Chains A and B, each alone.
Chain A
């Protein structure tokens, strides 16, 4: 299986801050990397697919980058609704999709 490791596991920040979450794959996954946002009690929501393509309706303050094994999700200016848990997910191995363990973004 391809292991996905996110860092940090949790992060405290304030509205207006710029934050970055890192996701590392245990082997190269090319650009088959997606990001999801999950608010408490809700289903995950696709934010970014194929490393940097924003899903329709996602604000432009979200961005993604990376290739191979190292990827990042950046929120340029945090808004109150962005406090949530974020997951990366690899789609390189279509016989076994795997997610990172999640990064909980909390209000400072």
Chain B
């Protein structure tokens, strides 16, 4: 079964760029599903950030679209998130997930990113 693991800095300064990577194991990133990022501010609900397909096609949450880039590296079986010009409001646990048949079926354990 597919396993996902997020990695990246846990602390980012305001106005800088948040960068995270999600390593996919137990299956090829070229399979027929989307790869997505979801975040959860401390004590709050879930927010979809965006997604990427194996072809490189992307979709982003309109509220974050101007600051977000999601990319894929098939040679490393991983995909990445960049969020620029961060503020304290971007402090959250960031999850990478797979989206299969319109459902988020596999999730990483999540990584807390603090903007301060």
Contacts and interface: CB of A to CB of B under 8 A. Distances in A.
Interface of A: 1, 32, 34, 36, 42-46, 49-50, 55, 87, 89, 91, 94-102
B103 A49 contact: yes
Nearest to A1: B62
A81 to B, nearest CB: 18
A36 B103 CA distance: 10
Top 8 A-B residue pairs of the complex, sorted by shortest distance between their CB atoms = A91-B102, A43-B107, A97-B48, A49-B103, A99-B46, A34-B103, A101-B45, A102-B45
B45 A96 contact: no
B107 A45 contact: yes
Given A32-B102, A94-B102, A43 B45 contact: no
Contacts of B108: 43
21 contacts: A32-B102, A36-B104, A42-B109, A43-B95, A43-B107, A43-B108, A43-B109, A43-B110, A44-B46, A44-B95, A44-B107, A45-B107, A46-B104, A91-B102, A94-B59, A94-B102, A98-B48, A99-B45, A100-B45, A102-B45, A102-B46
Interface string B85-116: 00000000001000001111101111000000
Interface residues of B, number: 18
A89 B108 CA distance: 18
Interface of B: 36, 45-48, 59, 61-62, 95, 101-105, 107-110
A55 B105 contact: yes
For B36, B102, B110, the residue with the greatest tally of chain A CB atoms inside 10 Å of its CB is B102
Contact of B46 (A45, A55, A87): A87
A27 to B, nearest CB: 17
Contact of A89 (B59, B62, B95, B104): B104
Contact of B45 (A1, A50, A87): A87
A22 to B, nearest CB: 16
Nearest to B34: A94
Contacts of A46: 103-105
